[in-house]
Amino acid sequence: MKLAGGHLDDFTGIDITGKSPSEIELEWFEKVYRGDSPQLTARAVVMGSLLGAVMSLSNLFVGLKTGWGLGIAITACILSFTIGAALKRIGILSSNLSILENNCMQSTASSAGYSTGSTIVGAVSALLLIQGHHLPFWTLMIWTLLLAMLGVFMAIPMKRQMINIEQLPFPSGLAAAETLRSLYAKGEAAARKAKSLGFAAGLGGVVAFLRDNQLGWWPSFLKIPEMINFPGSLAGRTMASWTISFEMSAIMVAAGAIIGMRVALSMLAGGLLNYFLLAPHMYELGIIRDLGYKNIVAWSLWGGTALMVSSGLLTFAFQWKTVWRAISGTGRMLRRSGTGTSDPRLMRMADIEVPGSWFLSGVLISGSAIVVVQAVSFSIDWWMGTLAVFMTFFLSVVACRATGETDITPIGAMGKITQLTYGIIAPSNITANLMTAGVTAGAAASSADLLTDLKSGYLLGANPRRQFIAQFLGVFAGAAVVVPSFYLLVPTPDALGGDRFPAPSAQVWKGVAELLANGIESLHPSAQLALAIGAAAGIILSILDHFAPVRLRAFLPSAMGLGLAFVVPFWNTLSIFIGATAAFLVRKTPAGPYTIPVASGIIAGESLIGVLIALFSAVGIR
């Protein structure tokens, strides 16, 4: 099978145009792979566990405040390099971590800091609000561990298709790789890129500090607002009430510079359609009764999610042969070239990839354990629990593809599909509605996080099997911190829903569960229609993308970008479009080669300072 489309990857130098999967993997193995470099070492895992455990606290804090999670891989890379250099100077380490050790460290830290908290700020917090009491400590600990593990195993068969073959950008993974390469770079050109990354990181850090610092003595005129509101009105309400504002954050602008124009334009088209046309019309009809992001997206998420799910699953189905090669675990198909003859280089390639047997055994063990916990702790019938695990694989595929194309993981949107399903088959069981959807959300977050890290490793020539092990070990460090921290930050249900912890994600989960308590019929007819239209649009776009001539594909909208615009605020869409446009305008100028380093630096600097401020706030430091 030859790939009809393709491109030249500026980072690795691999051109995938017209090549078979085996030919692409061979070229990567020969040009990029660095099997002789230290990678999965004890010091890398220990440092990643410690950094990730600390950062999991800040992500829990930010999640309860905003409903969003911050990717911490880039922050961990910079901190690890800095700490390693300091420990080397004082004689504790004989050398700093190698670039691939740092990459493995990043996988451990990212898993610990990000993958373990998503279900806590969503489904678990929503259940707390509904039941009025916490889950037992060990129930939540085991639940958190199992969901993160399931997601890690679910990602195994997706890696080869989305990273090796399709070369999806995974912008945060690319940014992390660029950050590491700049930190370890030598030579004049590399030094210039490193300096541009450092300058951009400083700029991003200044933006975060001026916006987020809570220092009582800091002059108010030196602070910048979180949002700049646009003048005018729409349907008699301010533009800000429709989320039509500019967010004073550079992270999404930088992500847009990495994402590219096709996805950014698709998101802009979806955002304009949703927030300028459909939502105002629904408001005038009285279907959307209150404004603001939470209220608008409670209606719009159904069409956008259906679009992403249908397109993601159909695109995945078109590649069933490649997926089966990854899942089968025999390795034989992975070890044969396009002509059918054995190639020892491909056999070595198969030896460093994560085996399909790990996927099968890992999903079987963790999935079975999740079914047991659902039955024992939440009184969910075993067949319902099994269905939730089965659905999780397919919805994780969609979440991972959205992350690969846009750098946004639609965790909540994937959970809503499961909630909708259980609203049909178990309409009166709110606990089943929440916790089965929590399986999907938690595993999707973990899968997307692993693929983002594997993208970074792919670009740097890392051993994916060793990186997988590092990611798996990080799950334990993160759960050990994030679970007890949740009980400390939220001692009672009254702690949620106030000024300190608005918990918007939990509020949406709770609202959907209560809405669907009477079945899908309780959805407004317009939302049911949006589901059908969104699913049909996703199918049509996927078919066009698969069968259209190569030259026409670049002009087709991205289904993921279009659908995602219906589940994120317009200010995110606007920032991504601005970043993509800026990168497009400078791509052929002398500044073009610095686009990725500058974007990576902005993401690193703002996220680093944002994490530190959130951490200080969590422990009461002002």
3-state secondary structure (DSSP) of residue 229: strand
Answer yes or no: are the C-beta atoms of 236 and 551 closer than 8 Å: no
Which residue has better confidence, 76 or 532? 532
Which pLDDT score is estimated for 187?
55
pLDDT at position 191: 62
Rounded distance between C-alpha atoms, residue 432 and residue 421, angstroms:
11
617 three-class SS: helix
Mean pLDDT highest for which of 92-96, 113-117, 407-411, 529-533? 529-533
Residue 500 amino acid letter: R
Q: What is the sign of the dihedral through the CA atoms of 239, 240, 242 and 245?
A: positive
* Of the candidates 150, 124, 138, the residue with the CA atom closest to the CA atom of residue 63: 124
Q: What is the pLDDT of residue 279?
A: 93
3-state secondary structure of 336: strand
Q: What is the DSSP string of 201-225?
A: HHHHHHHHHHHH---TTS-GGG---
Query: Rounded CA gap, 396 and 411, in Å?
Result: 9
Q: State how far Cα 350 lies from the chain centre.
A: 27
More confident residue, 327 or 318: 318
- Tokens for 45? 């895992």
Q: Please tell me the distance from the alpha carbon of residue 75 to that of residue 62, in angstroms, as a whole number.
A: 15
Q: Determine the pLDDT at residue 299.
A: 86
pLDDT digits (tens, 9 = 90+) for 270-318: 999 999 999 999 999 989 888 887 788 878 878 887 887 787 667 666 7
Question: What's the pLDDT tens digit per position in 9-55?
Answer: 555 666 666 666 667 777 777 777 777 788 888 888 998 888 888 77
Pair of tokens at residue 254: 């930088």
d(CA 136, CA 377): 9
Distance CA 211, CA 248 (A): 8
- The pLDDT value recorded for residue 2 is 40
Cα 13 to Cα 22: distance, rounded to the nearest angstrom: 17
Angle at 145 between CA 140 and CA 150, to 5 degrees: 125
* Per-residue model confidence as pLDDT tens digits over 438-475: 888 888 888 888 888 888 888 888 888 888 899 889 88
User: Between the CA of residue 153 and those of 163, 217, 365, what are the distances in Å?
Assistant: 16, 48, 10
86 C-beta neighbours (distance < 10 Å), count: 12
**Structural tokens at position 367:** 């999935």
* 245-247/233-234 β-pairing: unpaired
Task: Check whether 186 has a pLDDT greater than 80.
Answer: no
How confident is the model over 377-401, as a mean pLDDT? 86
> If phi over 0 gives left and psi between -120 and 50 gives alpha, with beta otherwise, what is residue 503?
left
Report the run of H or E that residue 238 belongs to, with start and end.
strand 237-238
Query: Where is average pLDDT lowest: 55-59, 174-178, 544-548?
Result: 55-59
CA–CA–CA angle 304, 307, 310 (5° rounding): 145
Single out the residue of 83, 67, 105, 147 nearest to residue 385, CA to CA: 147
d(CA 419, CA 429): 11
Determine the distance from the C-alpha atom of residue 44 to the mean position of all C-alpha atoms in its chain, rounded to a whole number: 23
Q: What is the pLDDT of residue 303?
A: 85
pLDDT by residue (tens digit) across 84-103? Answer: 888 888 888 888 888 888 88
CA distance 73 to 109: 7
Residue 293 to residues 67, 94, 126, 396, 569, Cα–Cα distance (Å):
12, 51, 18, 24, 6
As beta bridge partners, residue 15 has: 8
Residues 544-568 as b or e (16 or more Cβ within 10 Å = b):
ebeeeeeeeeeeebbbbbbbbbbbb
Q: Tokens in use for 419?
A: 């909630």
pLDDT band at 371 (very low <50, low <70, confident <90, very high): very high
Residue 372 has pLDDT above 90, yes or no: yes
Per-residue pLDDT at 334: 36
Flag whether pLDDT at 578 surpasses 90. Answer: yes
Instruction: State both tokens at 409.
Output: 């993981």
The whole-number average pLDDT for the span 587-611 is: 76
Q: 508 near 412, Cβ under 8 Å? A: yes
The pLDDT > 90 percentage for the chain reads: 10
Count of alpha carbons within 13 Å of 495, Cβ hemisphere only?
A: 15
pLDDT over threshold 50, residue 331 = no
Give the chain's largest Cα–Cα span.
71
Give CA separation, 540 vs 4, 86, 312, 363, 552, in Å: 19, 55, 12, 32, 15
**Which residues partner with 227 through β-bridges?**
247
Q: Distance between CA atoms of 548 and 542, rounded to whole angstroms? A: 10
What letters, b where the CB count within 10 A reaches 16 and e where it falls short, cover 388-422? Answer: bbebbbbbbbbbbbbbbbbbbbbbbbbbbbbbbbb
pLDDT of residue 581: 93
> What pLDDT, on a 0 to 100 scale, did the predictor assign at position 70?
60
Closest CA relative to residue 106, chosen from 408, 454, 597 = 454
pLDDT given at position 68 = 59
* Higher per-residue confidence, 216 vs 269: 269
Average pLDDT, the chain: 79
Question: 23-37, 186-200, 241-255: which has the minimum mean pLDDT?
Answer: 186-200
Any alpha helices (H) in 67-187, and if so which ranges? 73-89, 99-110, 118-119, 125-131, 137-154, 156-159, 171-183
